[in-house]
Amino acid sequence: MMNMRVRLGTIDDAETIASLHLTSWQNTYASFMPERYLKEIAPVEMRQDWEKALGSSAFASGNAILFIASDSDPIAGFIFAELKDDGRVLIEFLHVAPGRLGGGIGTLLMRHAFEWAQTQHSGRDVYLEVWCDNTKAIGFYEHLGGRRTDTRTEQLTGFSLAEYEYTWSAQEVVDWLKE
């Protein structure tokens, strides 16, 4: 990770981000998502979702942000965070390229998202949602001090999955950044 750099993403990154996002899902979620969804539906939805997210008024106004980590690969990972209507900051997406997990990229991206939340939206809690079957990610978020604060079901196209919400209070974000 010596030459890892983090930059701000733009609308021009939509296709590349959608591609990594899809690859990440296909590698990580194949054991609990329908194969047809991952191969046929998700590719179309992700491309549309990323074009929409990166073209949104929230992104344009600075209430959402995309950080991209890269080194020799075009994109080693990314994180997307957004201020939500309830006043909290949602880490909507955090994905690291397959084969790059465990190398500190996720932690680096979380640090950037936390710094953005703390400087641009001070005093706001930060949260994320993770599927209950994604045990590696759950372990990562708990290692970073996230507290499970809710359980719910998310409806996707043709199926649903149980998910947990993990939260870092505004003070926990500040404390985490001091470490």
Q: Model confidence over 119-159: pLDDT tens digits?
A: 999 999 999 999 999 999 999 999 999 999 999 999 999 99
pLDDT by 10s per residue, the chain, length 179? 558 899 999 999 999 999 999 999 999 999 999 999 999 999 999 999 998 899 888 888 889 999 999 987 679 999 999 999 999 999 999 999 988 888 899 999 999 999 999 999 999 999 999 999 999 999 999 999 999 999 999 999 999 999 999 999 999 999 999 98
Distance CA 169, CA 179 (A): 16
Whole-model pTM?
A: 0.94
For the beta carbon of residue 78, count every other beta carbon within 10 angstroms. 25
Residue keyed to tokens 């084969």 = 99
For the beta carbon of residue 63, count every other beta carbon within 10 angstroms. 16
Distance CA 113, CA 163 (A): 21
Domains and CATH numbers, the chain: 5-178 (3.40.630.30)
Please report the sign of the dihedral spanned by the C-alpha atoms of residue 109, residue 107, residue 172, residue 179.
negative
Q: Tell me the two tokens of residue 162.
A: 């149980």
* Residue 88 near residue 172 (C-beta atoms within 8 A): no
Q: Model confidence over 76-86: pLDDT tens digits?
A: 999 999 999 99
